[in-house]
Amino acid sequence: MSRNQKRSDCPISCSLDIWGDKWSLLIVRDLMDAKQCTYGDFLKSPEKIATNILASRLQSLEEFEIIEKSEHPDSKRKMYYQLTIKGIDLVPIMIEITAWADKYATIPKERKALLRAYKKDKEGFIKASIKELKKCNRSIYKKLGICISVAVYYFFISSCESGFIFLLSGYELTK
């Protein structure tokens, strides 16, 4: 669907027109996990996205300014994709989708324990996640490569087998 077309004025419908299909959400998940990905990285995802669908979704997400691409520091033939601020703002939605999946699907025990920790301080966890993603977003522009944080904690939550990782700096998870 083009940027200027929408099915209705319903905010849910308008949002789903932008990022609501399965593949777009999995691309966003992968970018929340890795902070930046090449085209080939997306193809390695366990869901096995077809190349034509991947190209279409990347283009659409870029047009809607959910993701952006930049030159790979090691190869002019490769591009890095990363979330924009608009894409980072999807963090609470992605976490809540995972919380829903925890209620209605099978999630590994270790992820359930971490999800319980998230539920103890949703607001703090979301703020820390967004802060870290924004920090990593700025590092791309400086061409520093992969975002690395000194005191990093991993939070694995998932609504599917592969999951996604949030890198959190200074946010302690208790079991």
Residue 107 reports pLDDT greater than 60: yes
The predicted model gives 154-165 an average pLDDT of 36
- Residue 71 tokens read as 């030159």
Pick the CATH number of 11-169 from 3.40.640.10, 3.40.50.300, 2.102.10.10, 1.10.10.10: 1.10.10.10
Q: Which residue has the tokens 């190869």?
A: 75
Residue 161 reports pLDDT greater than 70: no
Instruction: Report which of 68, 102, 98 is spatially closest to residue 164, judged by C-alpha positions.
Output: 98
Of 46-55, 109-118, 150-159, highest mean pLDDT: 46-55
The maximal CA–CA distance of the chain, rounded, in angstroms, is: 46
**pTM metric for this prediction:** 0.73
Share of the chain above pLDDT 70, in %: 74
Q: Tell how strand 79-83 and strand 67-71 pair up.
A: antiparallel
| b/e per residue 101-126 (b: at least 16 CB within 10 A) | bbeeeebeeebeebbebbeeeeeebb
DSSP string, 100-122: HHHHHS---HHHHHHHHHHHHTH
Per mean pLDDT, which range of 2-16, 21-35, 69-83 is the poorest?
Answer: 2-16
Higher pLDDT, 6 or 51: 51
Helices in 8-157 by DSSP H: which ranges? 11-19, 22-34, 39-43, 51-63, 85-88, 91-104, 109-120, 122-141
Kind plus residue range of the DSSP H or E element containing 78: none
Whole-angstrom distance, CA of residue 129 vs CA of residue 165: 10
- Residue 1 tokens read as 């669907």
Higher pLDDT, 107 or 157: 107
Domain ranges in the chain are 11-169
Kind plus residue range of the DSSP H or E element containing 81: strand 79-83
